[in-house]
């Protein structure tokens, strides 16, 4: 990601954080409309889940300048999500819901450049997490074959 994209992400996310409750509502509403089968994966209170989402995005955005730390954080996050039962195909749905939420919350501030930065960010994050999920699946298949 470019320095300009990182700056756009951080600036736009600071606007989203001002409306964190509304943003979380939009995100989860969109997510469950896109794929109602995801609802059972969220056993905790949605308000608590919203705080986790906010903290996770905040941390990932903060670590964009420190790729080794970001990779370790994303590896841990991917492991947690695999334990929760998140399937690789569901990452795209989450990305769609996130972009939709950002568009709703940011309105006119969600410019083409800001959209592109968020899409690039989500591709980076989900790509790293999917690699971990894929390696977990490969390890399990190899262990089962023994």
Model pTM?
A: 0.86
**Could you tell me the domains of the chain?**
3-145 (1.10.490.10)
Could you read off the pLDDT of 55-107 as tens digits, one per residue? 999 999 999 999 999 999 999 999 888 888 888 889 999 999 999 999 999 99
Q: Which two tokens stand for residue 109?
A: 């501030």
End-to-end CA distance of the chain: 41
Could you read off the pLDDT of 14-34 as tens digits, one per residue? 999 999 889 999 999 999 999
């Amino acid at each position: 990601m470019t320095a300009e994209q990182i700056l756009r992400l951080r600036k736009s996310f600071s606007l989203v954080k001002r409306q964190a409750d509304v943003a979380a509502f939009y995100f989860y509403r969109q997510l469950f409309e896109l794929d109602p089968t995801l609802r059972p994966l969220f056993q905790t209170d949605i308000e608590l889940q919203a705080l986790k989402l906010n903290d996770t995005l905040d941390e990932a955005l903060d670590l964009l300048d420190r790729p080794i730390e970001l990779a370790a954080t994303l590896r841990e996050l991917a492991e947690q999500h695999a334990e929760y039962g998140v399937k690789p195909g569901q990452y795209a749905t989450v990305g769609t819901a996130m972009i939709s939420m950002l568009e709703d919350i940011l309105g006119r501030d969600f410019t083409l450049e800001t959209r592109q930065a968020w899409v690039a960010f989500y591709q980076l994050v989900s790509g790293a997490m999917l690699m971990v999920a894929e390696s977990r699946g490969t390890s399990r298949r190899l262990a089962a074959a023994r």
